């Protein structure tokens, strides 16, 4: 059986979890603590400490490069999901780079503000240290103080995606492609704390998000 090693609120893990649900295949999730990556280290033979990692029988799939999509491509090929069709090659790459850079860069900060609600007390020191080593001393307080501005920036960054949804059901097509799942994961992380809703201006995105929550590969003829 396929196993997804994750932490549940991670944007990149939500992407793969939703792809697996979409496919209808049987899979299990294994949650690891944010501050203990030893299972990832062991499975990847010391090549990665990141989640998600996918275990598919004897095969372990993980992102070995900053801009790879190895897990999604593996699932797409194995389960024939039509996530990376030839006609959207190139364009999807441009889009997912924007999603994983600009949108994710705003969304995770807005979620991390509430880290005390989802990181157990005994892991908080390591969590804060990790963030401050990467983003500077006091970064969490800084993001908290700038919350309204971060929300405004996020709403503005989502503007083009709202426009893409004005005349079709999914971002590129009448069925979801990889970028739909990618944006879904990043927004799922943004809303994981339960403190946020969709920016009010983005009515089409709100409907798309709810479609993306339930859509199944079986809804489409291949």
| Binding to ligand GSH, residues 52-71 (CB under 6 A) | 52, 63
Q: How far is the CB of 24 from ligand GSH (least distance, A)?
A: 22
212 binds ligand GSH (CB under 6 A): no
111 binds ligand GSH (CB under 6 A): no
Part of the chain binding ligand GSH (CB under 6 A), chosen from 49-57, 142-150, 190-198, 209-217? 49-57
Q: How far is the CB of 78 from ligand GSH (least distance, A)?
A: 18
51 binds ligand GSH (CB under 6 A): yes
Integer-rounded Cα Rg, in Å, for the chain is: 17
Three-class secondary structure of residue 12 per DSSP: helix
Query: Interface mask (CB under 6 A) for ligand GSH, residues 22-41, using x and -?
Result: --------------------
Q: How far is the CB of 163 from ligand GSH (least distance, A)?
A: 25
9 vs 162 by CB, closer to ligand GSH: 9
Size of the site for ligand GSH (CB under 6 A): 8
Cα distance between residue 52 and residue 146, in whole Å: 29
10 binds ligand GSH (CB under 6 A): yes
* Torsion 117-204-178-1 (CA) sign: positive
First and final CA of the chain: distance in angstroms?
24
Part of the chain binding ligand GSH (CB under 6 A), chosen from 10-18, 25-33, 119-127, 142-150? 10-18
50 binds ligand GSH (CB under 6 A): yes
H-assigned helices in the chain = 11-23, 38-43, 70-79, 91-98, 104-112, 124-135, 139-145, 147-164, 178-190, 203-214
112 binds ligand GSH (CB under 6 A): no
The tokens for 167 are 């005349």
> Rounded to an integer, what is the distance from CA 83 to the centroid of its chain?
15
97 binds ligand GSH (CB under 6 A): no
50 vs 169 by CB, closer to ligand GSH: 50
* C-beta of residue 118 within 8 angstroms of C-beta of residue 130: no
Among 24, 31, 47, 49, binds ligand GSH (CB under 6 A): 49
Cα distance between residue 139 and residue 56, in whole Å: 37
Q: At a CB cut-off of 8 Å and minimum separation 6, what does 113 contact?
A: 140, 143, 144, 147, 193
Could you list the residues that contact ligand GSH (CB under 6 A)? 10-12, 49-52, 63
């Amino acid at each position: 059986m396929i196993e997804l090693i994750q932490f549940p609120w991670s944007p990149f893990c939500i992407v793969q979890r939703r792809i697996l649900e979409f496919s209808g295949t049987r899979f299990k999730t294994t949650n690891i603590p944010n501050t203990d990556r030893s299972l990832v280290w062991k499975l990847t033979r010391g090549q990665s400490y990141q989640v998600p990692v996918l275990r598919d029988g004897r095969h372990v799939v993980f992102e070995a490069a900053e801009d790879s999509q190895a897990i999604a491509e593996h699932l797409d090929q194995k389960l024939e999901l039509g996530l990376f069709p030839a006609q959207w090659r190139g364009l999807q790459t441009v889009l997912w780079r924007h999603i994983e850079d600009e949108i994710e860069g705003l969304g995770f900060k807005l979620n991390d503000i509430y880290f005390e609600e989802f990181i157990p007390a005994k892991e908080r020191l390591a969590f804060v240290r990790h963030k401050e080593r990467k983003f500077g001393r006091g970064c969490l307080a800084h993001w908290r103080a700038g919350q309204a501005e971060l929300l405004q920036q996020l709403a503005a960054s989502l503007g083009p995606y709202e426009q893409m949804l004005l005349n079709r059901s999914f971002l590129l097509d009448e069925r979801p492609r990889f970028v739909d799942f990618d944006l879904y994961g990043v927004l799922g992380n943004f809303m994981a704390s339960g403190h946020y809703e969709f920016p009010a201006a983005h009515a089409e995105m709100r409907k798309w998000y709810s479609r993306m929550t339930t859509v199944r590969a079986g809804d489409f003829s291949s």
